[in-house]
Every structure is written in structure tokens, then in C-alpha cells.
Amino acid sequence: MNVRNLAIMIHEQAAKYSDRKNALYYKDGEKWTGISWKEFGDRIDNAAKGLLELGVSENELVAIYSGNRPEWTICDYAIMSIKGSTVAIYATNTDE
């Protein structure tokens, strides 16, 4: 059975485009900065390993509390990579 999901596909893209420039860009002050496909894949893998070392297991819910930044995306893919589910808590959420 050929299973495909976003976590698998992002790793395939990182491997396929590892020699290309950037997977994503973010604004650092007034300057746009890119993260290469290789670095993007490596950061996802490192974050996934960190989650596993913290004891996160398959089917577990993992919350991300953050504004819009590259680390949010990296963590989301890392959570998917270990078969967890992301629970987004936006910085603008209220107590209610």
C-alpha cells in the first residue's frame, strides 16, 4: 500500500530540491531571508527528534503557541512526521 501524506511529501520535496535555493522566506526586520530546502528538511527532522525525546507519542496532540513565523511551519511538519496532531493556539486567541 502506497501511503502519502503531507509529512512524507515535504520530506520528498526537501530531498528532491536540496540543491535548490529556498523552500520558504521570512522577513527579518526589513530584509527577506530564505531557508533552503536542505535546511528546512533538517530543521523538521531535528524538531521531530526533539519531540520524540520529550516523550511525544503517535496520535498525541501537540499545541503550538506562536505568531506567524518559520518555526511554526517547521514544528507543524515535525509533529506530522511523528504522527501527532497539531493544535494551533494563536497569539490573538482570547481566554473565551
Domains of the chain with CATH codes: 6-90 (3.40.50.980)
Query: Which pTM value belongs to this model?
Result: 0.86
pLDDT tens figures, 17-41: 988 889 999 999 999 999 999 999 9
More confident residue, 68 or 74: 74
Determine the pLDDT at residue 72.
94
CB 82 within 8 A of CB 58: yes
The whole-angstrom separation of Cα 18 and Cα 87 is 29
